[in-house]
Each structure stands twice: as structure tokens, then as C-alpha cells.
Amino acid sequence: MKFVEVPMLPIVIPFGVVIFLVLIWVLRSLGAVTLPRASVAAILAVYAGGVLANTVFPIFLRIGTGFSDGPRPWPLYLVPFVDYGLEDALINVAVFVPLGVLVPLLTARPSWWKVVVIVAGASLAIELTQMATARLALGGHIADINDWLTNILGGIIGYGLFVLMMRSRTIAGFVRRFRWPAPGRASSRPA
């Protein structure tokens, strides 16, 4: 039986480009395209591509004999905080801190619960993709409730940092140029 690694870049780069184009389209539909806001779209697209590359890949396909080599256990770990290393926890928190900062830039009226919902949904999508690739191919990751919980914690920490930064008038004034307007309040001038 032979295994072939699925190339990462032909998937990750188009994924990031599509995200960037969709975000620019949204900005354009709001009539709010500015260089600072477009840079937020670019940062989010690169971030999403990087997260995809590091959380889903490597993926290996079996070549040759049949797909099934018998029953395999589900690539899913649902027991929280048992056999979960501190290093893994810190990495998973750190990976989602940027998303906790980026979501308030994209949301007209950010709140902690919006950040939690978006971060939890993004992390769940990653965990389900990991489970699917591990089950259908030979993905290098398994879905883990611990990863999901620590990703959410990272998003909350990122949002907390955003809130703290916005308490400074100087920083808040600078950050407002990067924030996206609410639909109906669009302006091409930085807010």
C-alpha cells in the first residue's frame, strides 16, 4: 500500500484568495473600501490560510489496494482536560487570539458573545474538518474537545486585548480607521 501526501499550497493559497476577495466584495458593497480596511481583509485571509495549513494538513491518501483496511476508531476525543498537555493548550490559545482581535474590526457593534460565537464556529469547523480528513483520508490531526475549548479561550483573550486597547484614546483613534462600518452606515472615509 502506498501513501501520497496531498499538496498543501494548491489548497491553502486559493482558500486565502477566496476569503480576501469575498471580504473586499463585502467592503465594496458597503461602499467602504479603504486601504486600512482592505489590510484587515488581507490579514484575515492570510491568517485563515495559515490556520488551515497548520490545523488540517498533512493529509495522506491511500493509493493502491482498497480504501478500507477494516474498521478504524473515530478520530474524535471528547474527554475534556485529560491527557492534554500544557504546550498544546497554550498553542491552541495563542492561535485564536488574533481572531479575537480581528472579529471586532469586522463587526460594527462587537460584543464578547459575537466573538465567542464566531470563534466557536470557526474552531468547530476546523475540528470537523480534522475529523473528516482523518476518517476519509489519513489526516494528521484528530478532533479534540480540548482544542475547541482552548481555541475559544484564545478568542476571548484576543477580544479582551481589543477592549483594553480601545480604552486608550490614541490607540482607539488609530484602530477606528481599520474598523468596518455597519451596513447602512457605509462611508469610504475611515470611521
> Cell 484587515, residue?
40
pLDDT at 191 over 50: no
Strand 2-5 and strand 76-77: pairing? unpaired
Where in the chain are the domains?
A: 2-176
The separation between CA 43 and the C-alpha centre of its own chain, rounded to angstroms, equals 11
Mean of all residue pLDDT scores within the chain = 90
Segment 83-135, tens digit of pLDDT: 899 999 999 999 999 999 999 999 888 899 999 999 999 999 999 999 999 88
Biggest CA-to-CA distance, the chain: 64
Residues 6+ apart with CB under 8 A from 14: none
